[in-house]
Amino acid sequence: YPLNPAATAGTMSMDRIQKYLEDFYHLEKDGKQFVRRRDSSPVVTKIQEMQRFLGMKVTGKLDDDTMEMMKKPRCGIPDVSS
């Protein structure tokens, strides 16, 4: 793959998005580049789970509202128990 500029969605790095879903919604770590799997069903499912838990519109997409929410300061404990 050509070297991507730092892949971002809105103003949040893909790494941070991936870490958010891993840390708080137990997204499985599989070593693949997140930018390539962001539309895969596991990731979409986790985005939907997060949007549902936090009371947002459930789109499964990394839309602006979702980005905004992910940037907000929060507690470090997962939102769902593993």
Segment near other proteins (CB under 8 A); pick from 1-9, 29-37, 38-46, 71-79: 71-79
User: Is 31 a residue that touches other proteins (CB under 8 A)?
Assistant: no
User: Is 12 a residue that touches other proteins (CB under 8 A)?
Assistant: no
Pick from 2, 5, 31, 73 the residue near other proteins by CB under 8 A. 73
User: Is 74 a residue that touches other proteins (CB under 8 A)?
Assistant: yes
Spatial separation of the C-alpha atoms in residues 24 and 17, rounded to whole Å: 11
Instruction: Name the site residues for other proteins (rule: CB under 8 A).
Output: 24, 52-55, 69, 71-81
